[in-house]
Structure 1
Amino acid sequence: MSRYRNLGLFLVLAAVWGTAFVAISAGLEYFPPVLYAALRYDIAGIIMLAYAAYVLDDVVPRGREQWLLVTIGSVLLIAAYHAFLFIGQQHTTAAAAAIVVSLSPVLTTGFARLLVPSDALSPLGLVGVAIGLVGVAVIAQPDPNDLLATNAVAIALVFFAAASFALGSVLTRRLEAEMPIESMEAWSMLGGAVLMHLLSLALREPIEPRTWVQPEALGALAYLALVSSALGFLLYFVLLERLGAVEINMVSYVAPIFAAVFGWLYLGEVIDATTVFGFALIAVGFVLVKRRALREEFGHLQALAQR
């Protein structure tokens, strides 16, 4: 029964995070991109901090190492990731954005090996990273005569979002500071929101509250803040403890399916065969890079099933 419960929660998380890309596309019709992302984490950060205060005795970061952890989370995991994603998604589909973001686990391994030369990727692992990058290029379909075409630039920005998240994940893992993930996420969300507000001001994004009170705008913002962020991260915490990091990474490869289906149903977006092929290449790259960890996980699951 526990196995089916975990599977159910896994699918719910994939649905929540996959449909987040649809909510982003819907809300971008009303909000400027960086301000939209900042407002999302204003709300989500407060909720997450309240949750952290409920489950932890002390939610305030202590010492230089913990504050450095929060700073990396604020800059890379929240601000850079979402600024690039929201700006890029103005000119690409929800499913294409979700697929490119699914490259994050591959990039995470690549950054980890790059920052620790003694732990280099095997030749097959390097092939996996290369195949994943080819998948992104297939989705972008860059024109050699016009590399600044709107779609290619949009996909490149989403790729930078995935790279920011991957680098942030590696750097936070390399720090020796021990900090509860609930408080780290809460303070990173709030710090990232502040940085995105400053970036929004620097970009001189228009502030037009009248357009924000449209039902679809409020619904999209509420969905991102309450469901995709607050509920999504709570589910993530539960599954991370039950399943481990490798299986959680697989959410990235199920989420685009939900993004594609709901993008088609709600936004009328159509996914072409080229995008599907690009997704297949990224998935193959993930399997090659994570093959040892996947083999261990499947062996563990088989042992449990035989008990």
Structure 2
Amino acid sequence: MSRYRNFVLFLTLATLWGSAFVAISAGLSYIPPVLFAALRYDIAGLLMLGYAVGTVDDWRPRGRTEWTQVLVGAVLLIAAYHAFLFVGQQHTTAAAAAILVSLSPVLSTGFARLLVPSDAPSSVGVVGVLAGLVGVAVIVQPDPSNLLATDAVAKGLVFCAAAAFALGSVLTRRLDASLPIETMEAWSMLGGALLLHLVSIAIGEPVAPAAWAHPVAIGALAYLSIGASAVAFLIYFDLLERLGAVEINMVSYVAPIVTAVVGWLYLEEVVDTTTLAGFVLIAAGFLLVKRRAIRQEFGTVRSRHSSE
């Protein structure tokens, strides 16, 4: 029963996170990108903080290390990641954005090599990182004569989002604070939302609340804040404890499939051959980078099931 429960929750998480990219594309027609991201985490952060208060003893950070971890999460995992993603996704498809974001676990290995020498990947792991980067190049298809083409710049911004998230993941792990993940996520969301509001004001995004009243805008914001953030992270916390980080990372490679299907049904977006080829390269890079952990994890799962 536990096996099927985990499988259903895994697919649910992939569906929530994959369809989130489609919700972003839909909402961007009505709400400016950085403000949209800020509003999402105003709501999600308050919901997550309420959950942390009710479920963990240490519901607020204490001491320099814990606040530093929250600051890194707010700046990189929330503010930078979502600012780049939402701005970039204005001019690229939801599926392409989801595939580029799936590079994050591969980039995390590259950043770990630079920042934590003990975590340096093997030569095969380096090949995996390079394969992922080649996959990005295949998707972006930069034209040397026009590197500032709208589509290329948009995909480049989404790549920056993936890089920000990967760097933030490595730095928060390196800090090794004792802060519960629920607390770290809640305060990072609220801090990131504040930073996003400040950026939105600084760049002079237009504020037109009348547009937000459109059913699509309301639905997209509600789905992203409640479904793809609050509910999805609760599922993530549960699966992280049950399955471990390696198997959870697999969500990054199921989610783009959901994005492609939902984007085709709802937005009539079509995934072209080059985007699909880039996805294959990025997924192959992940398998090369994480091959030992995957082999060990699935060996543990098989032995666990055989003993049941």
Q: 1:118: how far off?
A: 4.3
Task: Identify the residue that residue 209 of structure 2 maps to in structure 1.
Answer: 209
Residues 77 and 141 (structure 1), Cα distance of their counterparts in 2 relative to 1, 3 Å cut: same
Residues 245 and 200 (structure 1), Cα distance of their counterparts in 2 relative to 1, 3 Å cut: same
Does 1:182 find its partner at 2:182? yes
Task: Identify the residue that residue 169 of structure 2 maps to in structure 1.
Answer: 169
CA distance in 1, matches of 2:42, 2:157: 23
CA distance in 2, matches of 1:212, 1:176: 40
Between 1:57-66 and 1:259-268, the stretch displaced more is 57-66
Post-superposition Cα deviations, 1:156-207, rounded to whole Å, max 9, x if no partner, equal 1001000000000000001132101111100000000000000000110000
Task: Identify the residue that residue 26 of structure 1 maps to in structure 2.
Answer: 26
Check conservation: 2:58, 2:180, Cα contact below 8 A: no
Q: TM-score, normalised by structure 1?
A: 0.99
Check conservation: 2:58, 2:179, Cα contact below 8 A: no
Does 1:233 find its partner at 2:256? no
Q: 1:56: how far off?
A: 1.7
Task: For 2:97, give the aligned amino acid.
Answer: A
Check conservation: 2:139, 2:278, Cα contact below 8 A: yes
Task: Identify the residue that residue 90 of structure 1 maps to in structure 2.
Answer: 90
**1:50-89 aligned within 5 A:** 50-89=50-89
Task: For 1:7, give the aligned amino acid.
Answer: F
Between 1:51-60 and 1:246-255, the stretch displaced more is 51-60
CA distance in 2, matches of 1:173, 1:57: 21
Task: Identify the residue that residue 112 of structure 2 maps to in structure 1.
Answer: 112
Identical pairs, percent: 71
CA distance in 2, matches of 1:117, 1:176: 16
CA distance in 1, matches of 2:3, 2:165: 29
**SS of equivalent residue, structure 1 residue 306:** helix
**1:141-290 aligned within 5 A:** 141-290=141-290
CA distance in 2, matches of 1:242, 1:187: 24
Task: Identify the residue that residue 126 of structure 2 maps to in structure 1.
Answer: 126
Post-superposition Cα deviations, 1:135-155, rounded to whole Å, max 9, x if no partner, equal 011011111111111111111
Q: 1:59: how far off?
A: 1.3
Q: 1:57: how far off?
A: 2.5
CA distance in 2, matches of 1:17, 1:25: 13
CA distance in 2, matches of 1:30, 1:87: 13
Task: For 1:56, give the aligned amino acid.
Answer: V
**SS of equivalent residue, structure 2 residue 185:** helix
Task: For 1:131, give the aligned amino acid.
Answer: A
Q: 1:299: how far off?
A: 1.0
Between 1:202-211 and 1:111-120, the stretch displaced more is 111-120
Between 1:292-301 and 1:9-18, the stretch displaced more is 292-301
Q: 1:285: how far off?
A: 0.3
Task: For 2:192, give the aligned amino acid.
Answer: G
Q: 1:211: how far off?
A: 0.5
CA distance in 1, matches of 2:57, 2:177: 18
Task: For 2:275, give the aligned amino acid.
Answer: T
**SS of equivalent residue, structure 2 residue 61:** coil
Check conservation: 2:109, 2:120, Cα contact below 8 A: no
Task: For 2:2, give the aligned amino acid.
Answer: S
Q: Which runs of 5+ in 1 are unaligned?
A: none
Task: For 2:51, give the aligned amino acid.
Answer: Y
Provide the aligned length of Structure 1 versus Structure 2.
Answer: 307
Q: 1:97: how far off?
A: 0.3
CA distance in 1, matches of 2:37, 2:118: 38
**SS of equivalent residue, structure 1 residue 31:** coil
CA distance in 1, matches of 2:176, 2:252: 27
Task: For 1:21, give the aligned amino acid.
Answer: F
